[in-house]
Structure 1
Amino acid sequence: MELIENIFIPTYVVNLRKRVDRLAHIKREFAGREEFKVTYMEAVEDTIGALGLWKSLVKVIHEAKNAGDELIIFCEDDHQFTSNYSKQKLFEIIQEGYKLNAELLIGGSSGGFKTSLPVSENLLWVQSYCSNQFLVIYKRFFDIILQKMDFDPKKKVDNTISDLALSKFVIVPYLSNQKCFYYSDVTMFNQLYPENQLERFTEAEQNLGKIMKIYQMFRSKLT
């Protein structure tokens, strides 16, 4: 996959029709970023927020498969780019993912890793993760998602994806975090404690950064 100016990434943003504030926000985030071919899709609304999000993800994957996409970015409407983001960095990391046979790259997470193992300067394999606001999903993972017919509405979507994906990596430094809207349509914890949302992202990234520094230190001694 060459990095050339006319390459763009199919990007699917899900948004509930009633959340016009979030739609305005996410459109500002992608404004002027021509590396993304953005499709805004109406999210599936359900009385159980996690089930609605899962149905929205499945809807996106069906669309991506029918379009013949090799990979996509699945994006929630509270995603925001960090200062670490650049087109060059994203394309380089996506190429790394190809080489690692990745199913999933996580642009930023609020934690829940259980086990994390650095595999390169920018990627750590994780056993599990939290937060779905910016996911790079490779074609090899499409059918695995579509074949999951028994989604447990009591479980979170990120927990379900964690169980399904063997080859999943968090990008460090983060390219994405979540904008706090002081309410959540999916996660009860974020609904109850919205003010801690960015703090959780910061703490999780710092913890992964420490692991990465140790990895780089020992790697330099061995080369």
Structure 2
Amino acid sequence: MRILTYHTVGQRAYGDHLNLNTIALGRFKEHLDVLVKYRLARADAEISADTTEVAITFDDGYADNLHVVAPLLVERNIPFTVFVTGRFVRDKEKGFLSESELRELASMPGVCIGAHGDTHCDLTRCDEANLRAELKTSQAYLADVLGMSITTMAYPYGAANLRVRDAANECGYELAASSYFDINRVGRDALMLNRSVVLNGDSARVLEQKIKGDWDWYRFRMTDPLRLR
């Protein structure tokens, strides 16, 4: 499974000083023309040994994920996952989903809502108490807002190691994703899934290259978090 990481379509991404994570609407529509050619699945689907599937994810919980992204994906029957930072919703941060918008998004066909930490901090830098607070608070808050269990998450900044992975497991998460740029093969640890980031300069051609693995050399720029403690 190739899991793609998007953030926002048309608005500035949180902490994105280089403006790398904002995709223009026209460019995003070009990406959709590429994506519909593939077998698409949600990130929490079982990885297949027979064919490559592509999963689409969005980080942070921007309002445009509901108002811009969702209509385009639902119309095309494309499933997707939104990983939501609890504080952004709870504190009514400008540009992010409100509680009512989050419920509306979660009710749409093919949508999965997961956690993205409570305050969007680097979990690898947290002490044990703060690590579990980040994992549990976001999980409990989203579960309360949505009235459903939250068992999926993406590590903020994609930062993870075995200590963080084990804490996520102890907190009841069944699936979690890092930012290690690679495809997921059968047997990959479900709490350390790889994701391939999509950037604002990526043309439809580059997106297709990333799906096919031509950019997997990116993984050599970092260490597989499964090897980090």
Specify if TM > 0.5. Answer: no
Higher share in strand: 1
TM-score by length of 2: 0.29
